[in-house]
Every structure is written in structure tokens, then in C-alpha cells.
Amino acid sequence: MRLSRSFVPTLKETPAEAQIASHRLMLRAGLVRQTAAGIYAWLPAGLRVLQNIAQIVREEQDASGAQEVLMPTIQSADLWRQSGRYDGYGEEMLRLKDRHKRDLLYGPTNEEMITEIFASGVKSYREFPQNLYHIQWKFRDEVRPRFGVMRGREFLMKDAYSFDLDYEGAVIAYRKMMLAYMRTFQRLGLKAIPMVADTGPIGGDLSHEFIVLAPTGESQVYFEGGFEAIDWMKADFDNQNPADLERFTTLMTSMYAATDEKHDTAKWAEVPESNRREGRGIEVGHIFYFGTKYSEPMKLSVIGPDGKPIIPHMGSYGIGVSRLAGAIIEASHDEAGIIWPDSVAPWKAGILNLKVGDAKCDAICEEVYKALGGNALYDDRNERAGGKFADADLMGHPWQVIVGPRGAANGMVELKRRATGERVEVSVADALAKILG
């Protein structure tokens, strides 16, 4: 995109309403605009980020064997009356009425709906296991929407739902999803640590929150340094092999990790001091096994091989897709602005033409822009170099191709890596190879 013709409304001033870095930077870099309390419009640069995050989430869900669907945002209240959650859900639920005075709601989550849909289509125990997910907007009327997209009222979530014939099957589904989450968060440039979470009346130990460290996180967390050392893209765990999933689980449970709600000071004391890490954390995902809590009231059952009915065991698996945009910035920024991981950046590179109108600068910029296509944001505005540097740093492109008259006369450009600040003078071909390589 050419910046001169793009709607990327950056701000020089720090917006007064924003209390944390990611919120300030998302507004300043022109990613989002608030349209009502806790409700945001995603502008061109922000939408690219949101779509990149969603795509990585999608690829890892697919790789785990889950199937994508898309359920509506509006749900019938009757569905929720069937599970018994309609009255109990409280004020977080946005309740609506249609012209026939029927009760509707804007979905805060989809357990009831997916259970009913699955029940209406599944015919045999042979069709198990299954896992269905969608990436869809949710609405929760949070008491205190804050921190920009991190605690919004309308937000984008990936929620998956697993169906198994028994507890043992559900455990495998749970482990597969945990492994998929480790890979997902690493691909998003994050270190996210699974921490034991409350299971409420369900009991058991199959509930984990995935936490990213950031000083502005809402909870205090404690974990072992070993989690940070694992490279999940290289780790040899085959998600189709139950023995591998067992080995994976042993590894995960061999290390201590807990939020303050679940913190066990006696166990913590056993962790060697040099291994202890603590800080504030942001919840970016939550996985939870809940057995037959919904299958029972929603009448999901199949006839088993012995002719007896089986009530499937379920789990649900959420990722805060829009919250992640904020969480990634919390984890990766500096004084000057955002530092996007390559995988989620709206554009891989910004092209900075320091002298618009100079024949050589213009020609080199056009050449680079053409080669990078949709991967570049070309700053072709008639503005001072200082302003362009500041905006490029603010927007956080992983690479900056800086084209000034002195280098351009010799066919050279400067290539800056945003994360390290390193700047090198290279040929156009070398710059392109580095960016695309």
C-alpha cells in the first residue's frame, strides 16, 4: 500500500484515555478506533494484524485435526434455557428481543449451540472423536471494559469444542489442543505458559489458562524457567500419537506454573531459586474439560456398540484473538513504538522515501515496492525524513527500507531491523533477499 493513499491515521499525541502501552500504541499507530465503550473498529493496518493472528490460530487448529465452522453471533434464549444457563449468566449477557418479542442474545460463548448442532447431525459412535471450532465475535457486557482490545465488550475469539465417547478420549483431545496452543503462541512470537486453573464443580485437573508475561497483566503468576526454553516448532511430539501426547503432558506437568489463585507456596519452595520466574500475566487462552455438563441437558447421545446410549464427554478451548493483538504489543514494544513479530506484522517492510521527487530515490522505491507487493507499506508522502522515521518505528514494521539520495545515487539502500535497531547499507537485491528470505 502507498501511505499517501492509505487510511492509517497515526497520532502524535498520546491519547489520554489509554492507560497501558498496547492501548496507546494501537490508537497511535492507527490500528483501531473505539466506537463505543469496549467496542472497536479495526482499521486497515489493525485488520491485517487481526487476520494474521487468526490465520496462525486456524492453521494450528486444522493441524490438530479440528474442523472450522462458523456459528452465528445471535442465539436463541431457548438454547440457554435448555442448559439452565440463561438466568444464571447475569449482566454480562447482552439480551435482545426480535419483532415477535422472542428472546435472543448476542453470544458470549457457544457451548449450547455447538452441542445442539452436533447432536442434530451425529449418527453413530463410530463418528467420534470430533472437534469443531470457529473464529467469531463474542459480546460480554464487562463491568469495566479497559485496556483497549484486551478487555473489550465485543471481541474476537477462537472457540473449539471436542466430543469424545469417554473420559480417556477427552483427555487425548485436551492434550492435542494444549500442544496446538504451544505451537500457536510460539508462531505469534509469544512465550505463553499453561497454568493450572479452576475447574469449579467439574473437578479434576483438566483446566489450563495460557498466560503471556507483561507488567500490566491482570494476574500475578509463578512458573519455572524451563517453559521458556522449549522450541515447540522443533519439539518432536506427534499429535496423532497418544504416547507422544503422554510424554508431552509429563513434560508440562513436571514444571511448576500457577496464577495467584492457584499458587501453592510449599510446592514453589521446592523449585530451585535460579529456576523461579514470577511476574504479571495476561490470559490469552483457556482450555477446559467439562464432561457431560452440556451433552446431558442438550440431549446429545449416541447408541454405543453394545446398544446402550453413550453421553459424549466435551471440552472447550478458547483463544482471545483480538486480545492477542494487544498482548503481542505488550510483550514487544519500546519507547518509539510497536515491534511486530514477522508473523503478525501488517506489512513485512516499510519503504521510506526520504526525498520524494528525486528521480533515483523514486525509481528505487518503486522497484522495491513492486518486488514486495502486498508485503510493503510505501511511505511516499511528501514529508520530512524525521517524521517518516518516527512513523515507521511507531508502526513497527519488522524491516525498514530507507532510501535517501546519497545511497540511491549508487544503487544502495539502508536496511533497518526494527527489533535490534541494526542498520546496514545494502544493494536493492540484498535488501529484498533479506526481507523475503
Q: Which residues bind ligand ATP (CB under 6 A)?
A: 109, 140, 142, 151-152, 155, 157, 283-286, 318, 320, 322-323
- Closest distance of CB 345 from ligand ATP, Å: 21
- Closest distance of CB 136 from ligand ATP, Å: 12
Among residues 48 and 286, whose Cβ is nearest to ligand ATP?
286
Among residues 149 and 171, whose Cβ is nearest to ligand ATP?
149
- Closest distance of CB 319 from ligand ATP, Å: 6
Among residues 48 and 323, whose Cβ is nearest to ligand ATP?
323
- Closest distance of CB 157 from ligand ATP, Å: 5
CA distance 141 to 148: 14
Question: CA 110 → CA 90, 206, 358, distances in Å?
Answer: 16, 19, 57
CA distance 27 to 247: 44
Count of other CB atoms within 10 angstroms of residue 262? 15
Among residues 57 and 284, whose Cβ is nearest to ligand ATP?
284
Among residues 155 and 378, whose Cβ is nearest to ligand ATP?
155
Of the candidates 357, 399, 398, 402, which has an alpha carbon nearest to the alpha carbon of residue 379?
A: 402
Question: CA 296 → CA 2, 301, 433, distances in Å?
Answer: 56, 8, 57
- In contact, 391 and 353? CB cutoff 8 Å: no
- Closest distance of CB 387 from ligand ATP, Å: 33
Query: Going by DSSP bridges, is the β-strand pair 376-379/349-353 parallel, antiparallel, or unpaired?
Result: parallel
> Helix, strand, coil % (nearest 5) of the chain?
35, 30, 35
Among residues 107 and 312, whose Cβ is nearest to ligand ATP?
107
Q: Which three cell numbers stand for residue 337?
A: 513504538
134: β partners: 159
- In contact, 98 and 131? CB cutoff 8 Å: no
- Closest distance of CB 160 from ligand ATP, Å: 11
Q: What angle do CA 360, 366, 368 make, to 5 degrees?
A: 100
SS3 400: strand
End-to-end alpha-carbon separation of the chain, Å? 21
Among residues 165 and 344, whose Cβ is nearest to ligand ATP?
344
- Closest distance of CB 322 from ligand ATP, Å: 6
- Closest distance of CB 39 from ligand ATP, Å: 11
Among residues 46 and 320, whose Cβ is nearest to ligand ATP?
320
Structure letter (DSSP) for residue 325: H
